[in-house]
Amino acid sequence: MTRERKLKEVLNVRLDEPLARELRRIAGSQGSSESEVARGLLRYGIEVSRRLEAHRLSQHWEWEQPKPNDPFDHIPGVVEIEAKWRPMTEDELVANGFQEWLPPMEKEYDDAP
């Protein structure tokens, strides 16, 4: 059984019509509320932002960067997001309150005489 999260904070967001329509579509296809879908999408966006920041912070200092001779080396880039599904690990199941999905514990038998 999953534990219910207590929501404490409120965030008012103004959406344009195409974004609101897409949010309603996703909520309808998932059988969930628009608020729940928005929270999930916000979590994904925050995770992407964290990973991009971690990548940026792992780069060399500007003064450590080699001086490129290629004039195209400083062309602006774009973030590409690739999503894939994978099963949760046992630690992730526990952390998210999904203990009922864990495989049953095997009993250890003592075969010693």
Name the residue ranges covered by the structural domains of the chain.
Answer: 14-61
With the C-alpha atoms ordered 40, 20, 52, 54, is the resulting torsion angle positive or negative? negative
| Beta carbons within 8 Å of 101's beta carbon, 6+ residues apart | 88, 93
Q: Which two tokens stand for residue 72?
A: 């195209």
Answer for the pair 26, 37: CB distance below 8 angstroms, yes or no. yes
Averaged pLDDT for residues 74-102: 86
pTM here?
A: 0.60
Answer for the pair 96, 88: CB distance below 8 angstroms, yes or no. yes
With the C-alpha atoms ordered 54, 59, 63, 69, is the resulting torsion angle positive or negative? negative
Render pLDDT for 27-56 as a digit per residue (tens, 0 to 9): 999 999 999 999 999 999 999 999 989 988
